[in-house]
Chains A and B, each alone.
Chain A
């Protein structure tokens, strides 16, 4: 089976930097994605790591270490609008030429305070 662990909640202030960690155990691992979800909305894609290392997209960066089964999402220059739930998701592929499926972690609720 698959399991992912991430903190349930994180609080930070505007302008700060926050890191959300994710550890996973899975077979068929093909990459780690991060999604943001506001209350009642659909998840929106933030970042993806298929290989080890850091990926940077604007204020968001994501890191992956496949040997440690570990990744993190780094949010910089926090804004009030960043208050949301953040999910790590492993992309699991079992058959060649299949897109694979996403298995989500439990989610981290980020609260950004003034």
Chain B
């Protein structure tokens, strides 16, 4: 089946630094990738939709300059958390539509900002 590979699985960074998270579709082409953030015991909140070759579409309230999304190819989308702060510590997860109602998710990235 369709697989999305997400790296890193865990990352610890210092406050003020930037962190890049990658999601690759391994056996299919993902023209669209979705990025979610999940705080403990809470829902998956859609942050943005990345589109290959064009600008990402951000959900209301999500800072575009803080969460930079790049979708440079049909198999790779990246999320960069810029100038990270402790409140950005969360579980970040990507997802791709595999056709119709099918969505496959990456394994997630646990970000801790110290």
Contacts and interface: CB of A to CB of B under 8 A. Distances in A.
Nearest to B105: A42
Contact of A106 (B43, B93, B100): B43
Interface residues of B, number: 25
A48 B100 CA distance: 11
Interface string A84-114: 0001000100000011111111110100000
B107 interface: yes
Main SS at interface, chain B: strand
Interface in B31-64: 32, 34, 36, 41-46, 49, 60
A103 B103 CA distance: 12
Interface in B92-107: 93, 95, 97, 99-103, 105-107
Given A99-B32, A99-B97, A102-B34, A45 B103 contact: yes
Given A50-B101, A102-B95, A43 B32 contact: no
